[in-house]
Amino acid sequence: MLPDLVRDKILQDFPDSSVTAQGDGSRMEIIVVSAAFDGQSRVLRQQLVYACIGDLIREGTLHAVTISALTPVEAQQSTDG
């Protein structure tokens, strides 16, 4: 299943993170919560996640991707309010 593959690929580079991947090959929404994003820009965070799944995009398995890359504090704030 593609969401599981995407999740596993991201967890290889961010093993202590929470990863949610939903969708199919034409559209995938990915949420990554990791302390590794502390102090990094939004663009850099997305680049790091794209790097994990770049091979799937290049080979055409995955097409459109929406990424939310959050620190644990940001994730908690988004659920609090």
Measured in degrees and rounded to the nearest 5, phi and psi for residue 23 equal: 130, -160
Sign of CA dihedral 6, 1, 15, 17: positive
The answer to whether residues 6 and 28 touch, using CB atoms and an 8 Å cutoff, is yes
pLDDT in tens, 25-51: 778 999 999 999 999 999 999 999 999
**Which residues on adjacent β-strands are paired with residue 64?**
27
**Cα Rg of the chain (Å, integer):** 12
Determine how β-strand 64-70 pairs with β-strand 27-33: parallel
Structure confidence at residue 81 (pLDDT):
61
Could you tell me the pTM of the whole model?
0.91
Under CATH, which architecture does the 2-80 domain have?
2-Layer Sandwich (3.30)
Residue ranges per structural domain of the chain: 2-80
